[in-house]
């Protein structure tokens, strides 16, 4: 029976297997008498005892028990596309979280819009409405570009695995790639036009604001719940809509390829099932 099966206490093992120094001291002593005076007795060591009584199997069992058995990753399968769909969903979720973090801090980052104090200072310097509205175009345009770029990156990384799902999936991936290339410029022009419309709306609304409404306190209220807050909400909605569009295109592509791969697997296994059924008869 193994010494590590839980039936033998460690104290009992220590008694049965004393360290080498103690055994040597006992060997030098007369039978039944005390150990010789010059003998050195090594303190009892549980580690020493375990190494003395453990075989290779017990040592592995002990290591797994103390350290935790390593988690064996599930086998990656590319024949039905389910693992790829899950991977794409994680990528979309990561992009969604990034966008939401950027939307809640409009005054931070490379393409930040000015705060109420900064906007009031610009207006006090005599800057025009179109000039102070330009950061709103830059911010919206930058966020839209990043969403489109990351959507294209996710698709590009999945393309090879999609083609590996089978001939039908490969054809669908090539058709989708052609459509994306054909509509890329139009999508870019549309996004840029939307970003420009945000800035023009900001400038138009600002022209309607009188002098008292251009002070820092009034602008702070506008940022919180007034006309600036409404423009910001609409600009953020445009960015979220672009992300939903990219996510929908990715899901449709991956889902379509997975469906084609699943159909091919069913059709390929049908003759084998029929042959097996005929053999049973």
- How does 96-128 read in b/e, with b if 16+ C-beta sit within 10 Å? eeebeebbeebeeeebebbebebbbebbeeeee
Distances (CA, A) of 112 to 118, 124, 226: 11, 20, 19
Confidence of residue 32 (pLDDT cuts 50, 70, 90): very low
Confidence of residue 11 (pLDDT cuts 50, 70, 90): low
For residue 94, tell me if it sits in a domain. yes
Tokens standing for residue 170 = 């490969």
For residue 198, tell me if it sits in a domain. yes
Confidence of residue 4 (pLDDT cuts 50, 70, 90): very low
pTM: 0.67
For residue 4, tell me if it sits in a domain. no
Q: For a pLDDT cut of 90, what percent of the chain falls above it? A: 61
CB-CB contact of 173 with 159 (8 Å) = yes
Same domain, 41 and 140: no
Confidence of residue 196 (pLDDT cuts 50, 70, 90): very high
Same domain, 103 and 207: yes
Same domain, 157 and 62: no
For residue 21, tell me if it sits in a domain. yes
Rounded Cα–Cα distance for residues 58 and 54 (Å):
5
For residue 240, tell me if it sits in a domain. yes
Same domain, 31 and 128: no
Nearest to 47 by CA among 89, 10, 15, 74: 10
Question: Looking at the predicted structure, is the pLDDT value of residue 126 above 70?
Answer: yes
Identify the pLDDT of residue 74: 44
Which residue stretches of the chain are H helix?
Answer: 10-16, 20-28, 46-53, 56-67, 82-103, 116-124, 129-163, 167-207, 216-225, 227-280
What is the end-to-end Cα distance of the chain in Å, rounded?
Answer: 51
Show the domain range for 236.
82-273
Confidence of residue 277 (pLDDT cuts 50, 70, 90): low
Same domain, 21 and 144: no
Rounded Cα–Cα distance for residues 250 and 237 (Å):
20
Same domain, 131 and 25: no
Identify the pLDDT of residue 82: 83
Same domain, 145 and 55: no
CB-CB contact of 198 with 140 (8 Å) = yes
Confidence of residue 163 (pLDDT cuts 50, 70, 90): very high
For residue 110, tell me if it sits in a domain. yes
Same domain, 41 and 87: no
Mean pLDDT across 96-113: 96
Same domain, 198 and 239: yes
**CA 17, chain centre distance (Å):** 52
Identify the pLDDT of residue 97: 97
Distances (CA, A) of 118 to 66, 107, 220, 228, 246: 60, 10, 11, 14, 34
Same domain, 222 and 125: yes
Q: How many domains does the chain have?
A: 2
Q: Which of 21-35, 39-53, 196-210 has the highest mean pLDDT?
A: 196-210
For residue 209, tell me if it sits in a domain. yes
Least confident window among 60-69, 133-142, 198-207, 246-255: 60-69
Same domain, 152 and 123: yes
Rounded Cα–Cα distance for residues 64 and 57 (Å):
11
Average pLDDT, the chain: 80
Confidence of residue 263 (pLDDT cuts 50, 70, 90): confident
Mean pLDDT across 1-16: 51
Rounded Cα–Cα distance for residues 52 and 48 (Å):
6
For residue 105, tell me if it sits in a domain. yes
Same domain, 90 and 58: no
Residue with the bigger pLDDT between 151 and 31: it is 151
Residue with the bigger pLDDT between 83 and 73: it is 83
Mean pLDDT across 77-100: 87
Tokens standing for residue 56 = 């290779």
According to DSSP, residue 68 is labeled -
């Amino acid at each position: 029976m193994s010494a590590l099966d839980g039936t033998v206490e460690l104290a009992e093992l220590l008694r049965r297997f004393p360290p080498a120094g103690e055994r040597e001291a006992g060997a030098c002593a007369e039978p039944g008498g005390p150990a010789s005076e010059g003998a050195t007795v090594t303190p009892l060591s549980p580690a020493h005892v375990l190494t003395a009584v453990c075989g290779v199997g017990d040592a592995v069992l002990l290591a797994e028990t103390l350290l935790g058995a390593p988690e064996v990753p599930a086998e990656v399968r590319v024949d039905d596309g389910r693992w790829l769909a899950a991977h794409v969903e994680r990528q979309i979720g990561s992009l969604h979280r990034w966008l939401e973090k950027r939307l809640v801090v409009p005054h931070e980052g490379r393409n930040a819009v000015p705060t109420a104090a900064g906007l009031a200072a610009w207006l006090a310097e005599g800057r025009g409405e179109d000039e102070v509205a330009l950061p709103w175009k830059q911010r919206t345009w930058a966020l839209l570009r990043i969403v489109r770029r990351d959507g294209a990156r996710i698709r590009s990384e999945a393309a090879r695995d999609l083609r590996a799902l089978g001939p039908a999936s490969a054809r669908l991936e090539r058709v989708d790639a052609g459509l994306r290339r054909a509509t890329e410029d139009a999508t870019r022009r549309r996004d840029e036009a939307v970003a420009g419309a945000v800035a023009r709306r900001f400038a138009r609304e600002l022209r309607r604001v009188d002098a008292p409404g251009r002070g820092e306190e009034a602008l702070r209220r506008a940022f919180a719940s007034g006309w600036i807050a409404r423009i910001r909400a609409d600009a953020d909605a445009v960015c979220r809509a672009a992300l939903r569009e990219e996510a929908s295109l990715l899901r449709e592509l991956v889902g379509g390829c997975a469906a084609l791969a699943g159909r091919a697997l069913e059709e390929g296994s049908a003759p084998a099932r029929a042959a097996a059924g005929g053999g049973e008869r």
